[in-house]
């Protein structure tokens, strides 16, 4: 009986490690959305103003002390997140497409505090990350409310659930700010 349990545990561990290895390497598409009780022009402004972004960018219990945002096609951004333990995480990117009050498409990478790209293999986040991912944000107003849909293309599958959780926590902060 003990031998059967031990074999079962070993097989479960082998399977779990195998699944992690597959999902750590497999790129995925993650989409999350929320409808806010505000017109699109207010949502757009709150989404893109650097001082307002400092108040909502980052998951629960994290802060965003540094936000730089040059919102134009070809413009760059630098986003920070400080963990409750004081660890700093940085992202940088370039805007590829902007349609005011409708859509933003950007290429985003991990970076250092100066905006220098850190390659995917050099970051300390689970999964095998590409050097950049595509982030698409769409805004749609209906009846005075605005639906925001965020799609991230290229994140490791193993991080999909965490990315969705992080965005939902950011949406909670964003909603309070509106």
92 close to 132: Cβ distance less than 8 angstroms: no
Instruction: Quote the pLDDT of residue 23.
Output: 40
- Identify the pLDDT of residue 25: 43
Full-model pTM:
0.83
Give me 65's structure tokens.
């002390």
pLDDT at 117: 96
Inter-CA distances, 117 with 62, 68, 174, Å: 22, 15, 27
Is the CB of residue 171 less than 8 Å from the CB of residue 34? yes
Mean pLDDT, rounded, for 104-127: 91
Average pLDDT, the chain: 88
In Å, how far from its chain's centre is CA 166? 7
pLDDT in tens, 45-102: 999 999 999 999 999 999 999 999 999 999 999 999 999 999 999 999 999 999 999 9
Instruction: Report domain extents, the chain.
Output: 2-177
Question: What is residue 77's predicted lDDT score, i.e. its pLDDT?
Answer: 98
| Dihedral sign from CA coordinates of 29, 58, 138, 94 | negative
Q: In the structure, what pLDDT confidence band is assigned to residue 18 with cuts at 50, 70 and 90?
A: very low
Q: What is the mean pLDDT of residues 102-125?
A: 93
Topology annotation, domain 2-177: Alpha-D-Glucose-1,6-Bisphosphate; Chain A, domain 4 (3.30.530)
pLDDT value of residue 133: 95
Give the residue among 5, 8, 23, 7 at the shortest CA–CA distance from 163: 23
**Pick the residue with more confidence: 70 or 23?**
70
Rounded distance between C-alpha atoms, residue 48 and residue 136, angstroms: 14
% of the chain exceeding 90 in pLDDT: 74
Strand runs (DSSP E) across the chain, as ranges?
Answer: 27-36, 67-69, 76-82, 88-99, 103-110, 133-142, 145-156
Residue 6: pLDDT over 60: no
pLDDT of 3 reads 59
Q: What is the pLDDT of residue 27?
A: 60
């Amino acid at each position: 009986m003990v031998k059967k349990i031990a074999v079962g545990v070993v097989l479960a561990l082998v399977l779990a490690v195998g699944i992690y290895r597959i999902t750590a390497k497999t790129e995925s598409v993650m989409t999350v959305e929320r409808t806010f009780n505000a017109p699109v022009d207010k949502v757009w402004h709150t989404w893109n103003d650097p001082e307002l972004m400092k108040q909502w960018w980052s998951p629960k219990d994290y802060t965003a002390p540094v936000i730089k945002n040059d919102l134009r096609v070809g413009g760059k951004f630098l986003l920070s997140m400080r963990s409750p333990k004081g660890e700093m995480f940085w992202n940088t990117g370039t805007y590829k497409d902007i349609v005011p009050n409708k859509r933003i498409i950007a290429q985003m990478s991990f970076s250092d505090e100066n905006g220098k790209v850190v390659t995917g293999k050099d970051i300390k986040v689970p999964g095998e990350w590409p050097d950049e991912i595509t982030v698409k944000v769409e805004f749609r107003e209906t009846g005075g409310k605005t639906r925001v849909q965020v799609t991230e293309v290229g994140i490791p599958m193993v991080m999909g659930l965490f990315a969705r959780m992080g965005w939902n926590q950011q949406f909670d902060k964003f909603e309070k700010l509106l």
